Chain A
């Protein structure tokens, strides 16, 4: 199975800040990576797919980068609604696996 490891597990930031979350795969997954956002008590929301493609309706302050084993999600100019938990997920092979999540908190 492909293991997905996110860092940090949690991060504190202020409105307007820029934050980067890292996701590392245990083996190469090309660009088969998706990012999701989840607010407490809500289902996940797709943000990015194919590592760097923005899902329709997602603000352009979200950006993704990476190929192979190392990936990042960057949020530029944090807004209050961005404080949530973020998950990466490899889409290359079964069993599909998620990272453990990164909780983005208000400083």
Chain B
């Protein structure tokens, strides 16, 4: 059974940093691209970032480029999202999701999400 468990969310002030973690199990982690998708309170879904299984490719939404860094540790089946210089607009539930295939974004498994609140 595929399981994705996010952690690391919390309340931070604008300008601060936070690191999200997603622990994966139930599939061959190193073979699969992984993504982060966020959802602001009461709003729709926003793709944030994707990393290939082999670590050779990363992609970012313009809204987070230069501030967020996606990474993974295939030896520990873990995905990360380092978020720097956070703003109130980054307040959202952050979901870790597994890509169903390489090429294009089709997210077949999602974690329960971790809430990030940026507030002064």
Contacts and interface: CB of A to CB of B under 8 A. Distances in A.
Contacts, number: 56
Interface residues of B, number: 22
Q: Taking each of A1, A32, A55, A98, which has the highest tally of chain B beta carbons within 10 Å of its own beta carbon?
A: A98
Contacts of B112: 42-43
Nearest to B93: A43
A16 to B, nearest CB: 28
Interface residues of A, number: 24
Q: Taking each of B50, B95, B104, which has the highest tally of chain A beta carbons within 10 Å of its own beta carbon?
A: B104
Interface stretch (A19-27, A75-83, A84-92): A84-92
A62 interface: no
Nearest to A55: B108
Contacts of B46: 98
B61 interface: yes
Interface string B52-92: 00000001111000000000000000000000000000000
Q: Which are the 10 A-B pairs with shortest beta-carbon distances?
A: A91-B104, A43-B110, A96-B47, A96-B105, A98-B45, A49-B106, A101-B44, A91-B105, A94-B59, A46-B108
Interface of B: 37, 44-47, 50, 59-62, 95, 97, 100, 104-108, 110-113
